Structure 1
Amino acid sequence: MNAVEPLNDLFQRFEQLNVIGASLSSERNIDRLLENILLAAKAITHADGGTLYRVREDRKALRFEIVRNDSLSIAYGGTAGKPDPAKFQELPLYRENGEENNSLVAAHSAIHARTVNIADAYTADGFDFSGTRNFDQQTGYRSQSFLTVPMKNHENEVIGVLQLINAIDPESGAVGVFSDADQRLAESLASQAAIALTNRLLISQLEELFEAFITLINLAIDEKSPYTGGHCQRVPSLTMMLAEAVDATTEGPMSSFMMTDKDRYELKIAGLLHDCGKVTTPVHVVDKATKLQTIFDRIQMVDTRFQVIRRDAELAMLRAVLDGTDRVLAEQTWHEQLRAIDEDREFLRRANVGGESMKPEDQERVRHISRTYRWVNDKGNEVDFLTENEVENLTIRAGTLTQEERQTINYHIVATIKMLESLPWPKHLKRVPEYAGGHHERMDGKGYPRGLKRDEMSVQARIMGIADIFEALTARDRPYKPGMKLSQALRILGNFKKNGHIDPDLFDVFIKQKVYLKYAEQYLEASQIDEPEASPDT
């Protein structure tokens, strides 16, 4: 081999080191990052095997993270799964008496923050390689050269150790020693890797702190009302289920939709924050379980009035008898009145419970009852049986909220947008306000708050819209209704697809990929999970 060939090899490895450094900086997943560090170290030093250790938080031991050996086809950690603790026990940095554990080369490297380059473990002095010999005896392997490099962060603190085994000559395949060039390249890589790992850990910690604040907001909403806390957790989960199903779609109109890890994280955060504006919503509106409920259910006041009407009917009957009316006839008329009063009272009690739809004739009956009965209020004035506010509430067509209360509820999305748009989002989270703020828009432009149409919305916002509706339909912790069965909820979603409420292509994925069933198995009661129609409006 001439002198040019080793020089070219060195240049190639320097180039490889630069590429590796850039790739390490972009990796978000800690396990993959650790794996990439070790694989890169093996590649640029031509090592047959290697181990990456991380210093435990209490700085008392080294923990196995990644183990690789090409000759033995050993792969633990990273994408290959965590190392077995029974096989790969932690290496103590200090003995029980507090002395430094310098007999283990990896521990020595971590304690003294220096590289150890050993030509042959079987002839090296000063270190205990008995474990290495036992390993070789069991596997038939021959561990020879060792290059152990500490990973130091920007504060010069050792956070891990790279240990490479058996330098392989690229030409002959023979095991040799790690050269000075190998050592310098490994040390340079270890430095870059330590900084990349430290940065990634710092970012992860900040993300965990950020998500903890989001959880805190949702907890505040939960504390205000137990009926919304579960919603704030279930909608993000269903959003991600549907997003992953769309991402996996390879045919049809949604086949071009793809997500990176950054995209997934951005959508996850948007899902967690999609209802943060509910911190501004009055509790009595959020928790309104019946139409007449405010701080208490006013149907009790209506019941009291009916008792007064019953008493007045009895007094009228007795006066009629005293005035000479036939007693049998008077009592018969009285009993008919009581029956009508009781029927009207039961009707109003039923009307007070919110449902999917109130018939026009039932709404008119409420108004008729209000006009039919008269009573004297606390000011001594004879008035209609029901107040205008009570009539308005008892004639609510669907649910338990008046138009004004719906506007109050709907304002939460305006508050959400205002809150989120006021935050200085980093580049990879810039679209969180748009995703979170669009889940009440409709494909036909009849949604709120901005009246956006389908082509004005991101796929992510449209996904969240379906998740929000389906969760609301099937939720079993709402005060005004039980959770729907799957078949009923899917039938309603199918109608929403037809009338331009939800995205038809996303609904088709929701059905074909059975996202609804995956969600149901995790969040719904067994009694809610029934067989949907064969093809629910797909």
Structure 2
Amino acid sequence: MALSSENNLDKLLEMILSEAKKFTNTDGGTLYLVSKDEEFLNFKVVITDSLNIKMGGTEGEIKWPALKLHKEDGSQNREMVAALSALEKRIIDIPDVYEADGFNFEGTKRFDASTGYRSQSMLVIPMLNYEKEVIGVLQLINKKDTVSGKTIAFNIDDELSTMSLASQAAVAITNTQLVLDLQNLLESVVKSIAVAVDEKSPYTGGHVRRVAALAMLVAKAISETSSGRYKDITYDNDQLREIYMSAWMHDVGKVTTPEHIVDKSTKLSTIYDRIHNIATKFEVAKRDAEINYLKSIASGIDERKKIELKKYFLNSIKQLDNDFEFLKTVNIGGEFMSDDKIERVKRISQIKLIQNGVVSYLLNEDEVKNLCIKKGTLTEDERQKINDHAIVSFKMLSALPFPKKLSKIPEIAGAHHEKLNGKGYPRGLTAEQISLEGRIMALADIFEALTAADRPYKPAKTLNECKKIIDFMIKDGELDGDLVEFFYDNGLDMEYAKKELKPEQYKSDI
């Protein structure tokens, strides 16, 4: 019996109870596990062959109340036979539960009354791990005579064989739970790191979680489809978990990205928005214009000249106000900045100021450079620092000793900025080098970024707007057109939208 080879806990528990029933030729049985706080026995598997009952295990969680190991006053619950077996770490053999003294079998009798069953012989065996700690209890009911089929009492051979099985079962359960605990620990650590990275910026909080949700939505749909391009692709639980973990770790490299770049909501933002500095300089320019005007008036010029100077002064103030409003708009950033606007920024930058007798210009070189960013809010240097997170992520993940089942995580996570045309980063992979899982990650990352409502540099897109942008990306050879078609044909965009987006982003698409 290969208990040690089964790593699915639910299947393992079913296997243990089934084998125990088979060893003893028993009609029914229950397998309990001790709760983490060691105060309860939780029902995990219940089987009664003659009633065609099979509950728990792979059939789903049993909702029955757990058995208390201790009463309200703290004393041991010695009335429940399974509890007593666990508390005293001993086998309890009862020929007939209706004739047994000292135990509370009211639950058993109610079950019998409601089903017409007759519980009789019972064998209860504690499962002890290698540290001699009770981790669960096996309870077998109604041993059957192999000839007559009648219910008979259990014997010493049943006790010995079942005790041996219980020992092996306890080791197998402990090992399986240990693996699950380690998996859960790894997943929790990964999520904690991802949340920490997201929380570096108030504008990206939740990004990693949403990318993971999208990636799993697509992967599960592909695995479940029975037609089309992906009908022969199936992901088992380990492969789905690998994709899920990859999504949670895809941006881990952002831990090295400066926060002021991640948070750069306007072109002039550093630790604060320098548009306020420029506003002050515009006020200085307006002050200089007014001083020059007043000096000219005071020089004794005629009325006609005064009228011309006043008109020139007011037009100058109006132009400065218009120029500042223009720079405020430009500072916000956007999808595209025309050459005409760039030339206007440069012209404005040449306005001279006089401060403390020193002549300077309205905009310095760095302000001009930032205000002339053609798309978004980042300079090329800043964008490269943002892009560097992908190679840092790949390097960090490649250095980790992932188990075989998770060995593709660096490749999958590291592909979220790769493009089929080979123009992506960090490795410039070609279409042939990017796996389906990597393509799923790229689509999830793009779709989340386009629809996210918390980005400082752009408003959230509607589903219609996203589709148009993604269609252009397909035409440019960046995204997998077949995968995107599957995504939309199966309504995955709408399924995601209803859970994560604002109603105004998708209601017009319904």
TM-score by length of 2: 0.92
- Report the secondary structure of 1:529's partner residue: helix
Q: 5 Å matches for 1:260-271?
A: 260-271=236-247
Distance 1:514 1:377 in 2: 62
The corresponding residue for 1:228 is 204
- Unaligned runs of 5+ residues in structure 1 are 1-17, 534-538
The corresponding residue for 1:375 is 353
- With 151-160 and 69-78 compared, the bigger mean Cα shift is at 69-78
Q: 1:307 aligns with which of 254, 264, 283?
A: 283
The corresponding residue for 1:521 is 498
- Shift of the 300–98 alpha-carbon distance from structure 1 to 2, 3 Å rule, reads closer
Distance 1:181 1:408 in 2: 71
- Shift of the 248–311 alpha-carbon distance from structure 1 to 2, 3 Å rule, reads same
- Report the secondary structure of 1:288's partner residue: coil
Q: CA deviation at 1:301?
A: 1.6
Q: 5 Å matches for 1:344-493?
A: 344-371=323-350, 373-376=351-354, 380-383=358-361, 385-493=362-470
| Contact 1:236 1:272 (8 Å CA) reproduced | yes
Moved over 6 A (4+): none
Q: 1:52 aligns with which of 31, 34, 40?
A: 31
Distance 1:310 1:97 in 2: 83
- With 523-532 and 110-119 compared, the bigger mean Cα shift is at 110-119
Q: CA deviation at 1:210?
A: 2.1
Letter of the 2:503 counterpart: A
- CA distances 1:78-120 after superposition (whole Å, capped 9, x unpaired): 34343334xxx43343456666544433223222323334343
Q: 5 Å matches for 1:238-317?
A: 238-317=214-293
- Report the secondary structure of 2:320's partner residue: helix
- Shift of the 309–134 alpha-carbon distance from structure 1 to 2, 3 Å rule, reads closer
- CA distances 1:125-182 after superposition (whole Å, capped 9, x unpaired): 6655454334323321111222222211121211101112123456654434446555
| Contact 1:235 1:471 (8 Å CA) reproduced | yes
Q: CA deviation at 1:37?
A: 3.0
TM-score by length of 1: 0.87
- Report the secondary structure of 1:229's partner residue: coil
- CA distances 1:410-466 after superposition (whole Å, capped 9, x unpaired): 111121112112222222221111111111111111000100012102211111111
- With 72-81 and 202-211 compared, the bigger mean Cα shift is at 72-81
Kindly indicate whether residue 55 of structure 2 is the aligned counterpart of residue 76 of structure 1. Answer: yes
Kindly indicate whether residue 476 of structure 2 is the aligned counterpart of residue 499 of structure 1. Answer: yes
- Shift of the 359–44 alpha-carbon distance from structure 1 to 2, 3 Å rule, reads farther
- Shift of the 306–112 alpha-carbon distance from structure 1 to 2, 3 Å rule, reads same
| Contact 2:352 2:359 (8 Å CA) reproduced | no
| Contact 2:7 2:176 (8 Å CA) reproduced | no
| Contact 2:332 2:457 (8 Å CA) reproduced | yes
Distance 2:22 2:315 in 1: 96
| Contact 1:246 1:506 (8 Å CA) reproduced | no
Distance 2:296 2:356 in 1: 27
Q: CA deviation at 1:332?
A: 1.7
Q: CA deviation at 1:266?
A: 1.6
Kindly indicate whether residue 123 of structure 2 is the aligned counterpart of residue 147 of structure 1. Answer: yes
- Unaligned runs of 5+ residues in structure 2 are none
Kindly indicate whether residue 41 of structure 2 is the aligned counterpart of residue 62 of structure 1. Answer: yes
What percent identity do the matched residue pairs reach?
A: 45
Distance 1:217 1:303 in 2: 40
- With 419-428 and 89-98 compared, the bigger mean Cα shift is at 89-98
- Shift of the 482–171 alpha-carbon distance from structure 1 to 2, 3 Å rule, reads farther
Q: CA deviation at 1:242?
A: 1.2
Distance 1:208 1:260 in 2: 18
Q: CA deviation at 1:524?
A: 1.0
Q: 5 Å matches for 1:96-115?
A: 100-115=76-91
| Contact 1:313 1:334 (8 Å CA) reproduced | yes
Root-mean-square deviation over aligned CA pairs: 2.5
| Contact 1:245 1:509 (8 Å CA) reproduced | no
Letter of the 1:428 counterpart: K
Distance 1:127 1:303 in 2: 85
- With 52-61 and 233-242 compared, the bigger mean Cα shift is at 52-61
- Report the secondary structure of 1:26's partner residue: coil
The corresponding residue for 1:26 is 7
Q: How many pairs were matched up?
A: 507
| Contact 2:250 2:413 (8 Å CA) reproduced | yes
Distance 1:168 1:508 in 2: 59
| Contact 1:239 1:467 (8 Å CA) reproduced | yes
Kindly indicate whether residue 341 of structure 2 is the aligned counterpart of residue 330 of structure 1. Answer: no
Q: CA deviation at 1:358?
A: 1.5
Distance 2:100 2:273 in 1: 85
Distance 2:55 2:275 in 1: 66
